[in-house]
Amino acid sequence: MPLRVAGIARAVLLATPLIGVAAAAADSNGPMSSTRPVTAASAAPAASAAAAPFDVEKLFANTCGWCHSSAGRTAGRGPKLMDTTLTDAEIVNRIKNGKQGAMPAFGTAFSDEQIKAIVKYIRDLKPASQ
């Protein structure tokens, strides 16, 4: 009997950290939550630039599309990006540094070339019917 109790106690101790991880995951607001740290592995495309051509539309859909609806054409959790009045420098700054409580920073997740491609993508946005 004492061995069984020891085994149960060990199982509880081993499971305790997993409960905290599950609770933290349940509290997150998706991959774009400003309370969740963004890493290169969670935000950047899985394939490296050398392995596959960079697809800014796919990157935007998988990373930015959680908040910027209709590929940035309409407001969602984040603002509409099509026809933004922000300058390119302001967009780059927002992507790199985020906006507290509204958008996480992606400065370490995206390369300068990827950020330039995202800015170009935003500038080239047209209504979906075109």
Render the burial of 46-84: b for 16+ CB within 10 Å, e for the rest.
eeeeeeeeeebeebbeebbbbbbbebbbeeeebeebbee
Q: For every one of its 130 residues, what pLDDT tens digit does the chain have, with 9 covering 90 and above?
A: 555 545 454 544 444 444 444 444 444 444 454 445 555 444 544 444 455 677 999 999 999 999 999 999 999 999 999 999 999 999 999 999 999 999 999 999 999 999 999 999 999 999 887 5
On whether the pTM is more than 0.85, the answer is no
Round the CA-based radius of gyration of the chain to a whole number and report it. Answer: 20
- Structure token pair of residue 46: 């899985």
Dihedral pair phi/psi, residue 121, rounded to 5° = -55, -45
What residue spans define the domains of the chain? Answer: 1-30, 33-123
Whole-angstrom distance, CA of residue 84 vs CA of residue 18: 43
- We find that the CATH architecture of domain 33-123 is Orthogonal Bundle (1.10)
